[in-house]
Structure 1
Amino acid sequence: ERADAFHSPLPGLDAQPSAPAPADLGEDIADYPLGVARAQVHETYVVAQTRDGIVIVDQHAAHERLVQERIKTALDTGGVQRQGMLIPEVVELDEAAASRLVARAAELAELGLVIEAFGDGAVVVREIPALLGETDIKGLIQDLADDFAEFDEGLALTQRLGDVCATMACHGSVRAGRRLNGDEMNAMLREMEATPHSGQCSHGRPTYVELKLADIEKLFGRR
C-alpha cells in the first residue's frame, strides 16, 4: 500500500541519494548544509532539519533550477539525450507560431526536442529531452512558440539559452501537489547543494528559506 501512495520516481531523483536515510544521520547532519528531509507539507514544500534550524524548500522552484542546470551541463558535455515518443504528439498552433518553431527545428534538436511541421498550423513532436521525464508537451510547445515570438529572428538560440532552458525546465519539473518520498526529497537536497545557483529558480524566485533555531525560539518567547 505504501508504494501506491507515491507517483513514479522523479527523473534524476530516483537513484539512492548520496546522503544516508534520515534515521541514520545523527550527528552527521552537520555535513549537509540543507539538512535532511523530515516531512513534505501540502505536497508542495519539503521541510528539512539542519544542524541549527530548518530549511523549507519549494519543490517546484528547486527542481526547475536543477533541471535547467542539467540541460546546460548536458549541452557542455556532448549533448542532451533524447527520449522517443511512443506515439508522436501533434500540437495545434496558429500558422505563424508553427512556422517560428519549424524554423528553429535544427536548434531545438540540439536541445533534445525533435519536431516537424504537420500541416500549416501544427507541429508533431517525435522526441523530447530524456531528462524532462513526463512532460506537458502541448504546454511546452506553446510556451516555446511564445518565447520565440519575442526573439530576434537572426539570433541563435544559444544566445538565449537561459530562456529556452528555463521554459523546458519549468515543464519538466515536479509540480506543487506532487507527493515525494524520503529518498526523492533527500536526493533533491543533495543535488541542490552541488548545483550552482540552486537558491533561485529560473524566474528569480527563492527555492528555499532557512530559519535558524534561535529565530524559531524567539517566535515562542524562549529567548
Structure 2
Amino acid sequence: MRYLDLLTALFATVLLTSNVASTKLVVLGPFTFDGGTLLFPLAYIFGDVLTEVYGYRKSRRVIWTGFFALLLATLTFQAVAALPTPQDGESQRFGEALRLLLGLTPRIVLGSLLAYFAGEFANAYVLAKLKVRTGGRHFWLRALLSTLAGQGLDTGIFLLVAFYGVWPHEVLLAVFLSNYVFKVGVEALMLPVTYGVVGFLKRAEGMDAYDRDTDFNPFRLA
C-alpha cells in the first residue's frame, strides 16, 4: 500500500485547513456558507477513494486518524486563545485577532467533532455496502448516494449542535440547504477526477477491496 500514508496525510490536512477556514462566512451567488465548505467536500472525496480502493477497515483507521488530529488541533487552538498575552498594544491586538479566528465556542467544537464522526462513517458505510450490493459497478452512483447520506448528517448535526437556538430557524434552514447543495455539487463535478484517482490507485496498489465479511462497528480498530 504505497499511497495510503500519503492519502491519510492529505485527508488530515484537508480537515485541519477547512476547520480553521470555517471561522469566516462567505457569500457566492445564492450560497451562504462558512469558508471551510470550499475545501471540506474534498474530505468526502478522499473518503470515497479510500473505501473504494482499500475497504472500510482501512478507511475506518484513516477516519479515526483525522478525528484525533482535528481534536488535537482544536484543543491546542482553544488553549492558546485562552492564555493571557503581554500587556503591550501590539501583543493585545494579535491576541484578540487569534481569539476571534481560533477561539471557537464549545458548541462549535462539539458540533464539528460529532458531525465529522457521523458523516464520515455514514459515507464509508453506505459506499462499502453498495459496492458489495452492486458487484463493484456504478461507482458514480455509489459515490453520490454515500455523499448524500454523509454530507446530510455532517451538515445537519453541525448546525443543530452549534447554532440551534442561536440563529432563527429560517436562517438555519437556508445555511443547511446552501451547504448541502454546494458540497454535493462539488462531489458531482469532481467525479471524473475521482474516477481517475480510483482507477490509478487500484492498478498501482493491486487492490479492489470488497467488504463482504467486515465488522462495520466504527469503534473497532483492530
Tell me the TM-score normalised to structure 1 length: 0.30
Task: Say which structure is richer in strand.
Answer: 1
Task: Say which structure is richer in helix.
Answer: 2
Tell me the TM-score normalised to structure 2 length: 0.30
Q: Which has the higher contact order (CA 8 A, sep 6+)?
A: 1
Q: Highest Rg: 1 or 2?
A: 1
